[in-house]
Amino acid sequence: MLQFFSKYKWFFVVMFVLSAIIIYTFYTVLKPTKKLPIYQPADVNVELVDTTVQYVRKYHKIKDFELINQNGEIVTQQVFANKIYVADFFFTTCQTICPIMTDHMANLQEELLNNDNVLLLSHTVQPEVDSVPQLKKYAKKKGVINSKWHLVTGKKKDIYDLARKSYLASKTDGNGGPYDMIHTENFVLVDQQRRIRGFYDGTKPESITEILEDIKILEREVE
């Protein structure tokens, strides 16, 4: 028996290698490619969505906008045309989750620094406090790179509408005032067609890895 195996050992080695290659090829071909969902308002927790769009089930996209960034520049949807971007909501004087979220945005900025297909966008929910000079000061403190990451302010109604009607990412504080809102920990991934493709907990380090992986998936969609 040993002589038999010794005589044909190279045959068995070759067959083993070929079998491994065939199995790997079948696994690669048959393994389903991960696809990201396209989120609609009806898919999201109603607390995060304005009542006017809560029952929308298709065709939802981020609406046109016009805001002002940390450099006093007008920022519109055209800045993000054909780009993937990550959006969130914050305010500069927040002492709870905002510093963590901003640090994680900074990590994304570093990882994506050489990827011209991806940008970052942070909206203040306290535009009455977060003026352009305040945003500029905050941006310098956090190491924001102007060409990569926009911190924006504007009219409170405009930001409210974006937060609750477009990004589906902020709650109201229940005080009954006009356009009252509080930010959440959500990071929102938006694709090249201005559709929401992911929500992530911006306070968790593991979310950074997940976002980076999902960005690669979106980039492959247009290849």
Contact in structure between 197 and 191 (CB atoms under 8 Å): yes
Look at the block and give the residue holding tokens 């045309």. Answer: 81
123 is in an annotated binding site: no
Collapsed DSSP state (helix, strand, coil) of residue 22:
helix
Q: Is 175 exposed, middle or buried (0-12, 13-18, 19+ CB in 10 A)?
A: exposed
94 is in an annotated binding site: yes
104 is in an annotated binding site: no
How many CA atoms within 13 Å lie on the side-chain side of 21? Answer: 6
Contact in structure between 45 and 167 (CB atoms under 8 Å): no
The one-letter code for the residue type at 34 is: K
Spell out the residues 6+ positions from residue 116 whose beta carbon is closer than 8 angstroms to its own: none
Name the binding residues for Cu cation: 94, 98, 183
Name the binding residues: 94, 98, 183
